[in-house]
Structure 1
Amino acid sequence: MKGAFFILLSFVGSALLAQDALDTLLESHPSPGIPYISVTEARMLQLHKKAILLDTRTQEEFEVSKIPTAHLIGSTDFSPMAIQKIVRDKNTLIIVYCSVGIRSQKIAQKLKKLGYTDVKNLYGGIFEWKNEDFPIVDQEGKETERIHTYSKYWGKYLKKGIKVE
């Protein structure tokens, strides 16, 4: 019985350490004026079609998997014209995401400068989305466990799913 307790305690402890590491990482990359949104809140808004999700990762990452209904806008090839085709009303709630939330915060700042008024950054990105057991899909819209981790370093924040580099 004691052994089972210590095993359970080690799992809980490692999950808490992983969350602390993510918290520390995101706190070290402040994003003034861009609030975070939890994956749970984002999922509820997505299910009720109350937000547009924009994926700021690379085409290569997006082709492995994405959050359902998300539109690829990238980060290095960001195009204001492409955004205007996806989000016509500048008061629409926009949720941006990447792997963990750093690249997406930069795009969120650009969206604010373009006049979009309700922009939020998904806390922990697609990794946290998957860690919380929310669905991700491949290019055919089928649920998948595969997630592109961008690099081995960033992959440490993905606790569930199949890591693809």
Structure 2
Amino acid sequence: MIKKLILLLYLFLLAPIYSSAQPTIKKLLKKHNKQSVTYISVDSLLTKQNAILLDTREEKEYNVSHIKNAICVGYDFFDINKVTSKIKNKDTEIIVYCSIGIRSEDVGEKLAAAGYTNIKNLYGGIFEWKNKNNPVYSKDSLETNKIHTHSKYWSKLVTNAEKIY
């Protein structure tokens, strides 16, 4: 009887505390995003042929690793004029991504405000991309197993790479 009482106490009082303390991509996106930019899944991105990938992380993150053929546009110093000079057709399919999809939503909103009509945000970002065993490339275009994670807190979201911060 005591064992059951202890188990029930754990399940109802302590388990929610421990489960909410552990960050997940889903929880963080729900907390920080408005879903103002339509998500695209990693699996759906794999089927895309002509979409332009914009990496909205900072250059030091991009240099550690990025998705093949992605263009680094940054976040802190994002300049819409640099994008409009490279992507003239405002109907071009653009996939924005960052570490998990928070910064990329902000950049996606800026692209929409500039008149781009076909923007998607990679759900889970490069973390989810790599967690699903997809390749990433260094600044030298060599395949790597490294992901820039900023800190130990964010690194908990990466399960399938060497973590750099």
| Distance in structure 1 (CA, Å) of the matches to 2:103 and 2:24 | 17
Aligned pairs (5 A) from 1:105-124:
105-124=105-124
Partner of 1:5: none
Partner of 1:76: 76
Q: Which runs of 5+ in 1 are unaligned?
A: 1-16
TM-score, with length taken from structure 2: 0.83
Match 1:22 to one of 9, 21, 25: 25
The offset of 1:154, in angstroms, is 1.2
Q: For the Cα contact (< 8 Å) 1:99–1:150, is it kept in 2?
A: no
Q: For the Cα contact (< 8 Å) 2:33–2:102, is it kept in 1?
A: no
Aligned pairs (5 A) from 1:65-104:
65-104=65-104
| Distance in structure 2 (CA, Å) of the matches to 1:21 and 1:162 | 18
Q: For the Cα contact (< 8 Å) 2:54–2:72, is it kept in 1?
A: yes
| Distance in structure 1 (CA, Å) of the matches to 2:147 and 2:73 | 18
Partner of 1:36: 39
Q: How many residues align?
A: 144
Would you identify which runs of 4 or more consecutive aligned residues in structure 1 move more than 4 Å?
Answer: none
The offset of 1:21, in angstroms, is 2.2
**Greater radius of gyration (CA):** 2
TM-score, with length taken from structure 1: 0.83
| Distance in structure 1 (CA, Å) of the matches to 2:35 and 2:129 | 23
| Distance in structure 1 (CA, Å) of the matches to 2:119 and 2:24 | 25
Moved more, 118-127 or 30-39: 30-39
- The one-letter code of the counterpart of 1:28 is K
Identity %, equivalent residues:
43
Q: For the Cα contact (< 8 Å) 2:67–2:137, is it kept in 1?
A: yes
Encode CA deviations 1:79-114: one digit per residue, 9 max, x unaligned: 111101321110001100000111111111111000
The offset of 1:27, in angstroms, is 1.1
- Counterpart secondary structure, 1:28: helix
Q: Does 1:151 align with 2:151?
A: yes
Moved more, 28-37 or 51-60: 28-37
- Counterpart secondary structure, 1:67: coil
Partner of 2:10: none
Partner of 2:163: 163
- Counterpart secondary structure, 1:159: coil
Encode CA deviations 1:46-67: one digit per residue, 9 max, x unaligned: xx2x200000001111111110
| Distance in structure 1 (CA, Å) of the matches to 2:55 and 2:139 | 13
- The one-letter code of the counterpart of 1:30 is N
Partner of 1:132: 132
The offset of 1:33, in angstroms, is 3.1
